[in-house]
Amino acid sequence: MEPGQRIRLRVINASGDTAYRIGMPGVPMTLTHTDGFPIVHRRVDAVVLAMGERVDALITVPDRPVPFVALAEGKTGSTFAVLAAGSGARPTMASVPKTLGGRVIQSASTTADPSVRLKSREVDVTHALMLTGSMNAYDWGINHRRYDENNPFAPAVNIKEGQRVRLDSWSAKAAPIRRPSTVLSQCPPPATTNRGGRPPACRPSCSRSAPTSGNATR
């Protein structure tokens, strides 16, 4: 790399239970893709990556070594790599910032490029999903139903080919929702719930939302 070069970074959060805030202090990034799908470019200072999520970002290489920082969300862990170009002292752990501020977004706030945007359409069916379980036993399920190792292909929800389906995540924890080989459209969260914490009826506006590929977080 040389100072002034325009390069693309592809960053993958390979963690199974931790979201990370990533960025380079003083070096803005232009997000171009989330999970391989092109988005309307967003110039940001940092981005929060869910578990299993991937982003592509363009940067202009600075004229000095800078840290590429990853901060665990809701935890104290952190790490960094060095983007080494130009002259100057390399960053050390003691000199790396412990926070990443400025323009910080999640992929949920990005908009799909028009070339891959889902067409406007009414939603056929809505399913409410709740991540249930306990950290004590690390025993998780969806809607109080554990993964059945004896029947691994048992459906968590019933859907049919060709349906436009809305999945409402009402979990207290941030968790990615992934459906392999399927494009998901990020829906705006409802402002209120019905009695008992149940989500209100699905709004047609969801079908006009932009796809964020197979990974959506709340």
pLDDT tens profile 125-154: 998 888 787 767 777 788 888 888 888 888
Measured distance CA(70)–CA(178) in Å, rounded: 22
Cross-strand bridge partners of residue 106: 48
Residues 105-127: tens digit of each pLDDT: 998 889 999 998 888 889 999 98
User: In terms of DSSP bridges, do strands 6-12 and 37-44 run parallel, antiparallel, or are they unpaired?
Assistant: unpaired
Cα 179 to Cα 39, 46, 65, 206: the distances in Å are 19, 26, 39, 18
> Mean pLDDT lowest for which of 40-54, 98-112, 131-145, 166-180?
166-180
Query: Per-residue pLDDT for 193 more than 80?
Result: no
Helices (H), the chain: none
SS3 category, 135: coil
Ramachandran angles phi, psi of 115, nearest 5°: -70, -20
Residue 56's CB is within 10 A of a number of other CB atoms, namely 19
Cα 206 to Cα 2, 28, 79, 108, 118: the distances in Å are 44, 31, 37, 13, 10
Where exactly are the structural domains of the chain? Answer: 6-109, 117-213
Question: In sequence order, what are the residues at sequence separation of 6 or more whose Cβ sits closer than 8 angstroms to the Cβ of residue 175?
Answer: 50, 51, 131, 169, 217, 218
Ramachandran angles phi, psi of 196, nearest 5°: 80, 10
Ramachandran angles phi, psi of 121, nearest 5°: -165, 145
CATH number listed for the domain at residues 6-109? 2.60.40.420
pLDDT at 95: 85
pLDDT at 17: 84
- DSSP letter, residue 210: P
What letter represents residue 162's amino acid? G
